[in-house]
């Protein structure tokens, strides 16, 4: 297996005609997706549509059953998967942390790609300064020394985005980052994502959700998944339409967009 180094040319992600089969069941069928630097994709679909399965492929957590997946220019199956995962920022709101680390310590674990602090490991001054900048960028500087178990779900979500950005990845994957957030926390999270995209214009993101209201205004592209198949994919204004969303969720809805944000209501 090759030890990966991030490729600076070409797409950051390329899935080509991918199937995923588990226990005889197709979780994904014939999925093709290409993500380039600076693009911000949304994967939309009902529960069980295959969104999280596709995200696990893109994050180098599993192999396709058929087809090929290239992450940062490296083909899954011909590369050290664990090393490749360290080059991708992956935000999972169900972060399995058991220790009462502070926000600053949690963000620093992004430098070692571990959940807990590594024994006897000490961050460099540059790493500490980088963590502080990211914590400030995500709007939680006043919580730097707060313990994990005292944080709100929204504060945890923004801390995990800062953690994912520690190794300066070219790709950030967000798995339903607004899960469990109240209205204010969701809006703070979306504002943080917009600030992030402004300050890191080359960063590519892929965000999984089944709520249109959770899409940041900077979303550039979208893929709609239904029962493991791609219903449609492309520039967001062509994909998120009343007809497409109605087919995707098998329910007649009317889509509106106001100040860059989407809203759905039943027809």
CATH of the domain at 6: 3.40.50.300
What's the pLDDT at 170?
A: 92
Lowest mean pLDDT of 21-25, 96-100, 232-236, name the range.
96-100
What's the pLDDT at 81?
A: 87
7 and 102 both lie in a single domain:
no
Average pLDDT, the chain: 91
Integer Cα distance of 52 and 54 in angstroms: 5
pLDDT of 145 higher than 90: yes
164 and 178 both lie in a single domain:
no
Give the side-chain half-sphere CA count within 13 A for 11.
16
Domain that holds residue 163: 97-168
62 and 115 both lie in a single domain:
no
**Mean pLDDT along residues 234-238:** 96
pLDDT of 6 higher than 60: no
179 and 234 both lie in a single domain:
yes
216 and 164 both lie in a single domain:
no
Q: In this structure, how many other beta carbons lie within 10 angstroms of the beta carbon of residue 132?
A: 15
Q: Which of 143, 168, 193 is the last residue of a domain?
A: 168
pLDDT of 98 higher than 80: yes
What's the pLDDT at 96?
A: 87
Spatial CB neighbours of 2, under 8 Å, sequence gap ≥ 6: 74, 78, 79, 80
Greatest C-alpha distance within the chain: 59
The domain tally of the chain equals 2
150 and 136 both lie in a single domain:
yes
8 and 109 both lie in a single domain:
no
140 and 188 both lie in a single domain:
no
**Mean pLDDT along residues 16-26:** 94
Q: Is 203 helix (H, G, I), strand (E, B) or coil?
A: coil
- Confidence at 95, pLDDT banded by 50, 70, 90: confident
- Confidence at 3, pLDDT banded by 50, 70, 90: low
5 and 45 both lie in a single domain:
yes
Q: What is the pLDDT of residues 116-133, one digit of tens each?
A: 988 999 999 999 999 999
pTM here is: 0.90
183 and 263 both lie in a single domain:
yes
Rounded to 5 degrees, what are φ and ψ at 210?
A: -120, 15
267 and 192 both lie in a single domain:
yes
What's the pLDDT at 9?
A: 64
Q: Which of 168, 188, 216 is the last residue of a domain?
A: 168
Q: Which of 168, 193, 210 is the last residue of a domain?
A: 168
CA distances from 140 to 90, 96, 137 (A): 19, 21, 8
Q: What is the pLDDT of residues 191-211, one digit of tens each?
A: 989 988 898 999 999 999 989
148 and 190 both lie in a single domain:
no
**Mean pLDDT along residues 211-219:** 92
């Amino acid at each position: 297996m090759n030890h990966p180094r991030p490729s600076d040319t070409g797409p950051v992600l390329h899935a080509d005609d991918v199937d995923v089969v588990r226990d005889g069941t197709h979780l994904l069928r014939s999925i093709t997706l290409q993500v380039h630097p600076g693009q911000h994709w949304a994967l939309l679909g009902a529960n069980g549509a295959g969104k999280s399965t596709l995200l696990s492929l893109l994050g180098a957590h599993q192999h396709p059953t058929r087809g090929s997946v290239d992450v940062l220019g490296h083909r899954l199956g011909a590369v050290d998967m664990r090393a490749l995962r360290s080059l991708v920022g992956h935000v999972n709101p169900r972060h399995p942390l058991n220790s009462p680390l502070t926000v600053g310590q949690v963000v620093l674990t992004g430098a070692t790609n571990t959940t807990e602090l590594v024994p006897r490991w000490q961050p460099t001054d540059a790493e500490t300064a980088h963590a502080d900048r990211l914590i400030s960028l995500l709007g939680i500087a006043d919580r730097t020394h707060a313990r994990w178990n005292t944080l709100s779900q929204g504060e945890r979500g923004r801390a995990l985005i800062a953690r994912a950005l520690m190794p300066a990845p070219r790709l950030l994957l967000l798995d339903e980052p607004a899960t469990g957030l109240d209205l204010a926390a969701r809006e703070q999270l979306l504002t943080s994502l917009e600030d992030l995209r402004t300050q890191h214009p080359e960063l590519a993101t892929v965000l999984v959700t089944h709520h249109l209201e959770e899409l940041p205004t900077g979303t550039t592209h979208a893929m709609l998944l239904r029962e493991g198949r791609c219903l449609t994919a492309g520039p967001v204004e062509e994909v998120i339409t009343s007809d497409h969303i109605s087919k995707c969720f098998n329910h007649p809805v009317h889509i509106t967009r106001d100040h860059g944000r989407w809203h759905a209501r039943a027809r």
